[in-house]
């Protein structure tokens, strides 16, 4: 597996957590009549946990697999995710490992 693919998989996982959490929150807002019921409270807690996990993971747990430094920058994620590698960055900004190398 390429390093780029590894980072993309983590990125997709944490963004999915964010989106699923957001979707559950929408169900709570528009679909649940009584927000203080057990269902309403559970949906609120679950969506909060998912959104928080997604955010924390996005900013903290996406690291370079070689030097373990956090990227922590949305713009660099976007350029890393370029699958063609033409527009995206090609090396880790910290240790210089090529993202198209095998893990
Ligand atoms: Zn690195």
Cα–ligand 1 centroid distance for 10 (angstroms): 15
What region, left, alpha or beta, does residue 70 occupy, with left being phi > 0 and alpha being psi -120 to 50 degrees?
Answer: beta
Cα–ligand 1 centroid distance for 93 (angstroms): 7
* pLDDT attached to residue 71: 82
* pLDDT attached to residue 4: 84
Cα–ligand 1 centroid distance for 3 (angstroms): 10
Cα–ligand 1 centroid distance for 65 (angstroms): 7
**Residue-level pLDDT, tens digit, the chain, 103 residues:** 988 888 888 888 998 999 999 999 999 999 888 888 999 999 999 999 999 999 999 888 988 999 998 887 655 565 666 655 556 677 888 898 988 899 8
Question: Does residue 48 fall inside a structural domain?
Answer: yes
> How far is Cα 89 from Cα 99, in angstroms, rounded to an integer?
8
Question: Does residue 92 fall inside a structural domain?
Answer: no
* pLDDT attached to residue 39: 92
pTM listed for this prediction? 0.80
Question: Does residue 75 fall inside a structural domain?
Answer: yes
Domain range holding 28? 3-80
Cα–ligand 1 centroid distance for 71 (angstroms): 9
SS3 91: strand
Question: Does residue 53 fall inside a structural domain?
Answer: yes
Report yes or no: 14 and 62 within 8 Å, Cβ to Cβ. yes
Question: Does residue 9 fall inside a structural domain?
Answer: yes
Per the structure, the count of domains in the chain is 1
Question: Does residue 21 fall inside a structural domain?
Answer: yes
Say what angle helices 38-60 and 3-31 make with each other, to 10 degrees: 160
């Amino acid at each position: 597996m390429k390093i780029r693919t590894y980072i993309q998989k983590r990125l997709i996982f944490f963004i999915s957590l964010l989106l699923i959490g957001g979707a559950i929150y929408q169900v709570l807002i528009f679909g649940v009549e009584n927000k203080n019921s057990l269902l309403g409270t559970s949906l609120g807690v679950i969506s909060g946990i998912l959104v928080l996990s997604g955010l924390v993971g996005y900013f903290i747990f996406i690291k370079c697999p070689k030097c373990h430094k956090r990227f922590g920058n949305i713009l660099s994620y976007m350029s890393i995710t370029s699958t063609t590698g033409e527009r995206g960055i090609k090396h880790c900004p910290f240790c210089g490992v090529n993202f198209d190398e095998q893990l």
